[in-house]
Amino acid sequence: MSDKYQGFVSSPIGKILVKNLGLPNPVELDRYTAGDPLVHGTVLVGGTGRLAESLPGLLDLLGVASTTVAGDGQRFKGLVFDATGLKDAADLVALRDFFTPLLRSLESCARVVVIGTPPEQTKGGERIAQRALEGFTRSLGKEIGRGGTSQLVYVAEGQEAAATSTLAFLLSPKSAYVSGQVVRIGVHGKATTTTVDDWTRPLAGKVALVTGASRGIGEAIARVLHRDGATVVGVDVPQAASELQSLMNELEGDWITLDITGKDAPQRIAHHLKEKHGGVDVVVHNAGITRDRKLANMAPNDKGDRWTSVIAVNLTAPELITRELLDQGVVNKGGSIVGVASIAGIAGNVGQTNYAASKAGVIGLVDSFADELKDGITINAVAPGFIITQMTAAVPFATREVGQRLNAMSQGGLPVDVAETIAWYANPASSAVNGNVVRVCGQMMLGA
């Protein structure tokens, strides 16, 4: 499932056409390989806010080389600017003064992170300035080019130390297809700060449930969580039992075969996790289906009931399973719940009113639970854009090409990009990351 266009523009004739016609020119994105350092290069840190002094220490903890001074001709793999000190609109000029001299010094697939204070926790001119950071970072993400990304991280006061896992994710190749996103730390619920002993295996000793785990994005999620040390319990329909069992045997995990929309599915899952594993630490609601058709043609007696079946699998089942696991106390203290939404749930899509409603509902599920959860349990969501899978390979060529090119990366993402984002949420050190929805879409040109 390679990107043939990307291969073409790398050829001699392709390079000529790109230069002369201004065609999209996707670069090969850096992606993380187990055992690699988080950052291949140096990160420059700037700003005068409340995190400025501690940032070099946080990066050192991650094994990331950093500096606060740019030497002549020095190139950087990342830039981190602490904008928490910006108190009014006039202060925003500090963004230009810091970034403009440095942008031509960035290496390919560079990472830019701006740190701010949640606007809702500020007043007056400071609130205006902090909200302005969103427009800046999203625009920079569309300008930076060459596989580079730009993100905004709002850190609540008192939660400065909790930013470590988020910096590790956003500065590393793990966030290859994530750009133009806004992350909030310590904003929802009673935030806690947790540390990990081994950043290469932060989920060691943890149990992770992944629905729809037998193939595609679900398989990638299972593999990445296993890489990070988790015992994975995969869930899929009986028709996928052979693939599911084969994967779980490879990963030394466990499996449950059932229809998650069955009336007793939540109870069966809860019982299995409690009896065989003593609980669960990570719950990933990945299972999903599409039954596309324009709403005018989606009659109630439609074969398979396109509306009801999509809502049942994509939204109702995750809600009921989550409530059952929480009510029975199966989710362990400090656990993480992750829903897989979609860019369609944010921007909408023709012929997908049912799917878009279900995926927007997943975001609603996050909003509903974020302030209610106890014992340090968090809930977040990922919203994938165009991810190259067997399913998208069947999309008509023209539609597929548009889907892959209309983003800042000019290419589709891979299942591992979604999986890495979920692994960041699942990391115990992300215990203050709660109530977030992060798009894994290469920063699509449409959709907020």
Identify the CA nearest to 77 among candidates 103, 42, 37. 42
How do residues 234-290 score in pLDDT, each as one tens digit? 999 999 999 999 999 999 999 999 999 999 999 999 999 999 999 999 999 999 998
Quick one: 426 and 283 in the same domain?
Answer: yes
Identify the CA nearest to 276 among candidates 242, 253, 243. 253
The reported pLDDT for the residue numbered 392 is: 72
What is the set of active-site residues?
355
Contacts with 425 (C-beta within 8 Å, 6 or more apart), sequence order: 336, 338, 378, 380, 382, 433, 436
How do residues 371-416 score in pLDDT, each as one tens digit? 999 999 999 999 999 999 877 766 677 777 777 888 999 999 999 9
Quick one: 38 and 110 in the same domain?
Answer: yes
The pLDDT-based confidence of 359 (bands split at 50, 70, 90) is very high
Quick one: 381 and 236 in the same domain?
Answer: yes
How do residues 159-179 score in pLDDT, each as one tens digit? 999 999 999 999 999 999 999
Q: Tell me, yes or no, whether 18 lies in a domain.
A: no
DSSP string, 108-131: EEEEEEEEE--GGG--HHHHHHHH
Contacts with 305 (C-beta within 8 Å, 6 or more apart), sequence order: none
Is the Cα torsion angle 262, 267, 273, 275 positive or negative in sign?
A: negative
Q: Total structural domains in the chain?
A: 2
pTM of the model: 0.95
Q: Which residue has the tokens 């992300």?
A: 430
Quick one: 135 and 245 in the same domain?
Answer: no
Quick one: 245 and 128 in the same domain?
Answer: no
In this structure, what CATH number is given to the domain that contains residue 221? 3.40.50.720
In this predicted structure, the answer to whether residue 222 has a pLDDT above a threshold of 90 is yes
Q: Tell me, yes or no, whether 105 lies in a domain.
A: yes
Q: Tell me, yes or no, whether 192 lies in a domain.
A: no
Quick one: 228 and 164 in the same domain?
Answer: no
How do residues 247-261 score in pLDDT, each as one tens digit? 999 999 999 999 999
Q: Tell me, yes or no, whether 16 lies in a domain.
A: no
Rounded CA separation 420/407 (Å): 19
Residue 157 is which amino acid?
Answer: E
Quick one: 256 and 318 in the same domain?
Answer: yes
Q: Tell me, yes or no, whether 25 lies in a domain.
A: no
Quick one: 171 and 38 in the same domain?
Answer: yes
Question: Could you give the dihedral angle defined by the CA atoms of residues 171, 177, 179 and 184, in that order, rounded to the nearest 10 degrees?
Answer: -70
Rounded CA separation 185/188 (Å): 8
Q: Tell me, yes or no, whether 116 lies in a domain.
A: yes
**Structural domain span for residue 157:** 31-185
Q: Tell me, yes or no, whether 191 lies in a domain.
A: no
Q: Residue 91 CB: number of other CB atoms within 10 A?
A: 16
Q: Tell me, yes or no, whether 38 lies in a domain.
A: yes
